[in-house]
Amino acid sequence: MLIKEELDTPFVKLDKGNGVLSIIGKSYTDNPTDFYVPIVDVLHELNNTTQNNNFTVKVALEIINSISSKYLFFLFKILYDMYDELVVKWYYESDDEIMLEMGKSFKGTFTESDFNLIGVTDLREVFLIKLM
């Protein structure tokens, strides 16, 4: 699955074989259901089809609205319940306390996951490599 970044929705890449979901950009669409439900549906279909029983989510968001954050929670929850090991790499700009606090909140919810809060100087650097 590959979704091109738009003005108010992030770039999304799902590598089913290696068990990696990357979400990069901005997520503040007025209609997050239209954007996130297809991703949720594909994740439900995975059913442990990765090469091993772990999954990695890489998130680098500049901005996210509250309803989009609820869908992000659903994505984490699906994968947390489905895989023995969930690794989350939450990239945030070092001076962005809001995104850091959101990452901490998710980390506190998914306590059995390997949740990494990764401060970077500029998220654009992460965007350039598309979290590969």
CA distance 62 to 26: 5
Residue 117's DSSP bridge partners are 90
Cα separation values, 2 from 21, 22, 89, Å: 10, 10, 19
Is the pLDDT score of 131 beyond 80? Answer: no
Predicted TM-score (pTM) of the model is: 0.90
pLDDT at 92 over 60: yes
**Cβ atoms within 10 Å, residue 17:** 9
Task: Specify the pLDDT at position 38.
Answer: 94
CA dihedral 131, 5, 35, 37 (to 10 degrees): -30
Q: What is the pLDDT of residue 127?
A: 66
